[in-house]
Chain A
């Protein structure tokens, strides 16, 4: 991070969110969606794309108004701009993806209070120019979506033997009902975090 304060490193901004500062696996922020919407891959992917949309729009908007922000009012400005983009996203899903909107339910409006978005607004968008914040938002958002899809993939395969609704497991496979329940979410994520800590330690 040392050289980014001297000269903004655009390549690094776009890639740091993928693994090194992956919100779910490394920073452990914004933990509600990875646990709540990962019973199947399709809702997880919809959730990931919605978060990318909101993150990109709010990062760009906040970066454009960063010189106007007053320190004591900045958090409320962040939340209000995020709430606006979440409303847009929610209305879009209700109109064009009614099934997904029904499955995700209250978790779409809950993007407003997702720590990832307010965290990127605070540490990146309120200090850097528009292009840099844009790339940063894309990187973080994609990293988050990948994490969601990995978790949802594991849970969907083990819970129903299928992925995207297609059967892939052999007939003898007995579905693990527990994977569909809250306990499956917590334990899978715990094991994945343990695995990622194990792999990083070896390096």
Chain B
């Protein structure tokens, strides 16, 4: 029972308290770039969640079962990036086959998921957090991806309304988006310290 509680707490912690976008600034590029419309943002969030979960689990397995026993930690970054690129390729083929309209609306941003910092960041933070079993790694990676999806959907919702508001000429576009993001992080700061 304790383990289940720990896993649930871990999940909530990476989604709300230690959200990667709000506390570690990872994935800021798509967060500012693809958050113009809610439906695209939602699709992006789901794609990132899937890739993050898949590559988080795979990199944890490779790291714990192959690289560390063989003392090959020096090749860690190269292995990680190959796994992520492979996972993105898989998602790209899947989306193109089953959701052609979504595939069109993503355009260039789909292959660019492989350069999304959330994914590599999570694989690296699994080391920093000293994750020592597969279940934890799986929960944390799914939670991180989900946290990114939550962040980008909130942002898209705000930006859809921001279009209608009267913003000073020089602040249109990126500057006002960044300031909005700043206020959002301030709101999420209220959760800090709730779960370690």
Contact = CB atoms under 8 A, between A and B. Distances in A.
Interface residues of B, number: 47
Nearest to A181: B189
Contact of A87 (B74, B114, B124, B168): B74
A174 to B, nearest CB: 19
B36 to A, nearest CB: 14
A105 B128 contact: yes
A84 interface: yes
B185 A183 contact: yes
B78 A84 contact: yes
B191 interface: no
B178 A193 contact: yes
B28 A110 contact: no
A72 to B, nearest CB: 11
Interface in A168-198: 178, 181-187, 189-191, 193-195, 197-198
Contacts of B26: 32, 36, 110
Contact of A32 (B29, B119, B178, B181): B29
A115 B33 CA distance: 13
A29 interface: yes
A189 B173 CA distance: 13
A6 interface: no
A112 interface: yes
Contact of A186 (B74, B82, B179): B179
Interface stretch (A74-82, A126-134, A155-163): A74-82
B111 A31 contact: no
Contacts of B120: 109-110, 112-113
A87 to B, nearest CB: 5
B171 A194 contact: yes
Consensus secondary structure, chain A interface = helix
B32 interface: yes
B191 to A, nearest CB: 13
A28 interface: yes
Interface residues of A, number: 43
Contacts, number: 127
Contact of A109 (B32, B77, B170, B189): B77
Which of B29, B181, B182 has its CB near the most chain A CB atoms (within 10 A)? B182
A112 B77 contact: yes
B116 interface: yes
Given A30-B29, A35-B28, A198-B170, A189 B178 contact: yes
Given A87-B78, A109-B77, A36 B175 contact: no
B25 A187 contact: no
A79 B81 contact: yes
A83 interface: yes
A67 B57 CA distance: 37
A86 B111 contact: no
Given A86-B77, A87-B78, A187 B115 contact: no
Contacts of B132: none
A75 B121 CA distance: 19
A79 B124 contact: no
B179 A83 contact: no
A190 B128 contact: no
Contacts of A186: 178-179, 181-182, 185
Q: 5 closest Cβ contacts across the A-B interface?
A: A186-B182, A190-B178, A194-B175, A198-B170, A190-B179
Interface of A: 28-32, 35-36, 75-76, 79-80, 83-84, 86-87, 90-91, 105-106, 109-110, 112-115, 118, 178, 181-187, 189-191, 193-195, 197-198, 201
Given A187-B183, A190-B181, 6 more contacts: A28-B33, A181-B189, A187-B178, A190-B182, A194-B175, A198-B170
